[in-house]
Amino acid sequence: ILKTPINEPKTNNLIKSIDNPSDYKLENATLMIMARNSELNGVIYTIKQIEEKFNSKFNYPYVFLNNEDFNLKFKEKIKKFTKSNLYFEKIQPEIWNQPNWINKERQKNEMKLLKNQNIAYANKLSYHNMCRFYSMNFYNHPRMKQFKYYWRFEPNTDYFCNIDYDVFKFMELNNKIYGFVISLYDSHQSIKSLWTETINFLNLNNFNNKNLINSNAAINFLTENLQNPEKTKFTNGYSTCHFWSNFEIGNMDFFRSNAYNSWVNYLDSTGGFYYERWGDAPVHSIGVSLFANKNDIHWFRDIGYKHHPYTNCPNSNKCNGCEPGKFTFDNLKDQNCLTNWWNFEMDDSAKQIY
- Taking the complex as a whole, the smallest distance from the CB of residue 261 to ligand GDP amounts, in Å, to 22
CB burial of residue 18 (10 Å; 0-12, 13-18, 19+): middle
Instruction: Count residues binding ligand GDP (CB under 6 A).
Output: 13
Of these partners, ligand GDP, Mn ion, none, which one is at the site of residue 39 (CB under 5 to 8 Å by kind)? Answer: ligand GDP
Query: Pick from 198, 246, 289, 336: which binds ligand GDP (CB under 6 A)?
Result: 246
Q: What is the DSSP letter of 344?
A: I
Nearest to 150 by CA among 134, 139, 140: 139
Q: Decide: is 39 part of the binding site for ligand GDP (CB under 6 A).
A: yes
Q: Which residues, including other chains, have CB under 8 Å from residue 226's CB and lie 6 or more apart? A: 232, 237
| Least spacing, CB of residue 229 vs ligand GDP, in Å | 28
Residue 206's SS3 state is coil
Residue 155 touches ligand GDP, criterion: CB under 6 A? yes
Binding mask 140-169 for Mn ion (x = CB under 5 A): --------------x---------------
Q: Which of 248, 276, 323, 345 is catalytic?
A: 248
- Nearest distance from residue 168's CB to Mn ion, in Å? 23
By beta-carbon proximity to Mn ion, the closer residue of 152 and 294 is: 152
SS3 call for 218: coil
34 binds, among Mn ion, ligand GDP, none (CB under 5 to 8 A by kind): ligand GDP
Strand partners, 336: 184
172 binds Mn ion (CB under 5 A): no
Round to whole Å and give the CA distance between 26 and 154: 23
Nearer to Mn ion, 58 or 150 (CB): 150
Q: How far is the CB of 244 from Mn ion (least distance, A)?
A: 10
Q: Which residues contact 206 (CB under 8 A, 6 or more apart)?
A: none
Told to check if 245 binds ligand GDP by CB under 6 A, we report no
Distance, in Å, from the CA atom of 308 to the CA atom of 306, rounded to the nearest integer, reads: 6
Q: Pick from 81, 75, 91: which is nearest to 46 by CA? A: 81
Interface residues toward ligand GDP, by CB under 6 A: 33-36, 39, 66-67, 126-127, 130, 154-155, 246
